[in-house]
């Protein structure tokens, strides 16, 4: 297995739900006129709290400085795991966060390296702060052949040199300390040919800028309170990925989206009763290992999960038929079974 450190220097930003108008031009340009920019990495995720943007340095230039746009101080690097050969999202197919829980996420958490996850239709991006890259390489060098992308080419890193004298810590127990919620939405993870984006630009603009997700189509107040507004769109290295609920999916023309023949649906486990990660940074408190807390129990139960971190909350997507098993794994407390 290979670990690829991609040639992206990323920024993570948050826009309040009622202030997206301050960033609409930049979002529109990066989503629908990408060829007019030098941006290679753009991700937009809508949640009930805010919009989370992940962009490279060229993409960030499309957004004017504004008090409505909160940009985290750190610069992030993107990693992904590949079986060997190639470094584009098409070459490194998505494996789900649970497949890399023990080999990547847990060891990094043991070394106090926090990750920000973005699962897409094509692959799984593991974002780490640039300043943590030496620790990342030392931590994972025994498990992976590690390559770094330089000017479009992958160059091997001398793992023996960087791992010499590095002490492996004892595995830490990571109890799940944050509340979990399971909205009623059924989700789809899909893609489309970027060349078809102009044909659905009006629809995507409505979903991204004006629509409130499934709340537009839910009929009763009771149902409305148990569904959430969630939509994620990524355009990375020329590959498009979308995560949406089934109500939004039905708004797209037939045969436009790349969906599996089984029409697989996903359910969400939402992590956090209060803002995580960056929200805590504002109080100078930083928590590490949230992704590991969730991915390790799911991996132990062999439950596939894709994972999308946002500025304030985390979201694990599991196959619909596995949601009860996933909740059981995540809420089980060994100390209570004695």
DSSP string for residues in 195-250: GGGGGGHHHHHIIIII--GGGGT--SHHHHHH----EEEEEETTEEEEEEEHHHHT
Sign of CA dihedral 141, 143, 145, 148: negative
Q: How far apart are CA 116 and CA 72, in angstroms?
A: 12
Token digits of residue 213: 């997700």
- Whether residue 132 contacts residue 139, with contact meaning beta carbons closer than 8 Å, is answered with no
Pair 71, 62: CB distance under 8 Å: no
Q: Is the pLDDT of residue 101 over 70?
A: yes
Per-residue pLDDT tens digits for 177-193: 788 999 999 999 999 99
pLDDT for 244-271, tens place per residue?
A: 999 999 999 988 999 765 678 999 999 9
Distance CA 277, CA 264 (A): 31
Point out the least confidently predicted range of 83-92, 95-104, 121-130, 166-175.
83-92
- The answer to whether the CB of 78 falls within 8 A of the CB of 6 is yes
On the question of pLDDT at 34 being above 70, the answer is yes
The Cβ-side half-sphere exposure at 231, using a 13 Å CA radius, reads 20
- Report the alpha-carbon distance of residue 31 to residue 234 in Å, rounded: 8
**What is the reported pLDDT for 65?**
86
Query: What are the two backbone dihedrals, phi and then psi, of residue 126, each rounded to the nearest 5 degrees?
Result: -105, 110
The answer to which of 117-131, 143-157, 171-185, 304-318 has the lowest mean pLDDT is 171-185
Q: Is the pLDDT of residue 284 over 50?
A: no
pLDDT at residue 240, rounded to an integer: 96
Provide CB contacts within 8 A for 137, sequence distance 6+. 146, 157, 159, 162, 163
What 3-state class would DSSP assign to 59? Answer: helix
pLDDT at 214: 45
Lowest mean pLDDT among 43-52, 135-144, 145-154, 215-224: 215-224
3-state secondary structure at position 51: strand
Per-residue pLDDT averaged across 212-236, rounded? 67
Cβ-Cβ contacts under 8 Å for 48 (sequence gap 6 or more): 17, 228, 229, 230
């Amino acid at each position: 297995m290979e670990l690829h450190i991609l040639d992206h220097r990323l920024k993570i930003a948050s826009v309040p739900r009622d202030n997206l108008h301050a960033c609409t031009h930049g979002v529109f340009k990066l989503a629908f006129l990408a060829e007019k920019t030098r941006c290679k990495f753009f991700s937009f995720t809508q949640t009930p709290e805010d919009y989370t943007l992940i962009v490279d340095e060229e993409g960030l230039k499309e957004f004017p400085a504004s008090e409505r746009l909160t940009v985290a101080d750190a610069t992030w690097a993107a990693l992904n795991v590949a079986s060997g050969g190639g470094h584009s999202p098409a070459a490194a197919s998505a494996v789900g966060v649970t497949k890399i829980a023990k080999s990547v996420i847990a060891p990094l958490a043991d070394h106090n390296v926090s990750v920000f996850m973005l699962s897409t239709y094509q692959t799984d991006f593991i974002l780490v702060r640039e300043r943590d890259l030496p620790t990342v390489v030392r931590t994972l060098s025994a498990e992976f052949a590690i390559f770094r992308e330089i000017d479009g080419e992958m160059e091997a890193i001398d793992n023996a040199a960087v791992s010499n004298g590095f002490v492996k810590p004892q595995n830490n127990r990571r109890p799940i300390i944050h509340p979990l919620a399971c909205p009623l939405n059924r989700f789809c993870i899909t893609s489309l040919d970027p060349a078809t984006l102009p044909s659905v630009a009006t629809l995507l603009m409505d979903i991204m800028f004006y629509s409130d997700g499934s709340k537009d189509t839910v009929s009763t107040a009771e149902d409305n309170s148990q569904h959430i507004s969630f939509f994620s769109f990524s355009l990375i290295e020329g590959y498009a990925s979308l995560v949406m609920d089934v109500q939004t999916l039905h708004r797209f023309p037939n045969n436009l989206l790349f969906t599996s023949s089984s029409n697989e649906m996903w359910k969400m486990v939402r992590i956090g009763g209060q803002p995580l990660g960056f929200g805590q940074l504002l109080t100078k408190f930083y928590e590490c290992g949230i992704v590991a807390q969730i991915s390790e129990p799911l991996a132990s139960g062999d439950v596939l999960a894709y994972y999308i971190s946002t500025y304030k909350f985390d979201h694990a997507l599991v196959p619909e038929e596995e949601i009860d098993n996933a909740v059981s794994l995540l809420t089980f407390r060994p100390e209570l079974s004695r």
